[in-house]
Each structure stands twice: as C-alpha cells, then as structure tokens.
A and B are shown apart, each in its own frame.
Chain A
Amino acid sequence: MLILTRKAEQGIVINGNVVLRVLSVDGDRVKIGVEAPRSITVLREELLTEVADANQAAAARPGDRPALPARLRLLDRRIV
C-alpha cells in the first residue's frame, strides 16, 4: 500500500491513465475528482461492498430449487 499526503489541487496518477485529484478539503470531507478512461468503472467503495454482501446473502443454498414458492411460477401469467 502506498501512502501519500496531498493538499488541495494536488493529484495522484495511477497506471499512467487514472488521475485522482484532491479538489477541496472541508473538515472531515475531501472532494476528489477522478479522471479515467471510459473503459474503467469508478465506484464508491461502500457500494461495491454492499453489492458483494447482497450477492453472498442471495447465493442459493442446496435444496432451494425444489422449494421454490408456487407464486413464482405464476409471474409470467401476469399481463405486462
């Protein structure tokens, strides 16, 4: 892990093509600008963690398939 200290307006360049820039510091909040190629997804870390947790909770358990509630089978009979 690389640890750096930055002041407002200073930047960090990752892999030659991702730039993090500290835009402003206000108390315990830091406004950060991210410039990255379009192909790179940029997300708040907690969002990734939430989705990973949700996926793990949703992963099917052995025996889930025969136990499907009957109402699920009826969904495609709704008129959409």
Chain B
Amino acid sequence: MQVRTNLMGVEEVLEISEQQIFAFEPGLGGFEGLRRYALIGEADSPIEWLQSLDNPDVSFALLEPFLFRPDYVFELPDRDAEALGMQEPSDALVRCILTLNEDAEKITANLLAPLVLCRRTHLARQVILQDQELDMRAPVFVGMTAQEQGSTEQVAASA
C-alpha cells in the first residue's frame, strides 16, 4: 500500500508492505487521534521512521536504544505485554523516539518512554516506565569512549 509523507521536505508517496504497519493502542501522547503508523527503514543508517498513515505531516525518528546504551534494560509491565499480544521477548521491537538536531551532540532519545512494537500482532504502544531513573532526553552520543569517537570520526572523514 501507499503512504504519503513529508519527510524529504516535499510530499512524496512511498510504497510500503502490510508488514510495516503497526496499530498504536492507545495513540502516542500528544497525538492520541493517530493510530496507524508505518515503520520505514533508512538505507545505510540504523534510523527508522515512524510515519503516521493518518497524517502525512506526523512522523518520528526512531533508534534502537541498545545501539547507544548497551546496558539499557527495562521491565515491560505485564499489562502492556498482554495488551500487545506478546508471547515471548523476541516478539518485541523496542525503539526510542529521537529529537533530531543538526549538531549530532544534541540529538537525544526518550529512554523513559520507549515504543514497544509487537512483531506477532503488529500492535504497538509507548510504554512510560515509572520506576526507573531514565532520561526523557538522553544524549545519544555522549558517553562514547575516546577510541570509539576517534574511529567514527575516521570513518566519517573517509565517507
């Protein structure tokens, strides 16, 4: 099926498969009326886009938290696991909403309220983790070791 999006700066139409569609129940906070989204990958990048199927102007950049916080762990409340139709942990796709910035140092991820998408049922929701000291605006790039910084900059320089 087709989805309209403004992500490239102009409205375009993308072809997506049913497998990319997720139903958010409830809708995202601040966007409660929007329920259906397409998960769209990005070539050459770990970023994914969550594009509203109901409103071409609404989309979110997502990143898997374990890519930049290897020790990120949370307990998915039973009520959310049941509502999503999860049967085993591998059913879950966990993604954090990013706030983008031209300055990469200022890119942050919402670790307190990750999105959990269930592969099995294609249901999804934003889960607000109450009991943990997690940052709603966690910097993505702070905390890399000097060696890692050096190697990514070398790769960037040669790209």
Contacts and interface: CB of A to CB of B under 8 A. Distances in A.
A47 B113 CA distance: 10
B110 to A, nearest CB: 6
Interface string B142-159: 001000100010011001
Given A57-B99, A58-B110, A64-B100, A75 B67 contact: yes
Given A60-B59, A68-B47, A47 B152 contact: no
Given A55-B29, A59-B60, A71-B104, 12 more contacts: A54-B136, A55-B31, A58-B61, A62-B7, A65-B8, A70-B104, A71-B152, A71-B156, A73-B44, A75-B68, A75-B140, A76-B67
B134 to A, nearest CB: 12
Give the contact-size bracket for chain A.
35 or more
Nearest to A69: B104
A68 B46 contact: no
Given A39-B82, A59-B58, A70 B159 contact: yes
Interface in A2-51: 38-41, 43, 47-48, 50-51
21 contacts: A39-B82, A41-B128, A51-B30, A51-B126, A54-B99, A54-B136, A55-B31, A58-B99, A64-B7, A65-B7, A65-B9, A65-B49, A68-B42, A70-B156, A72-B104, A72-B107, A73-B159, A76-B46, A77-B155, A78-B67, A80-B67
A1 interface: no
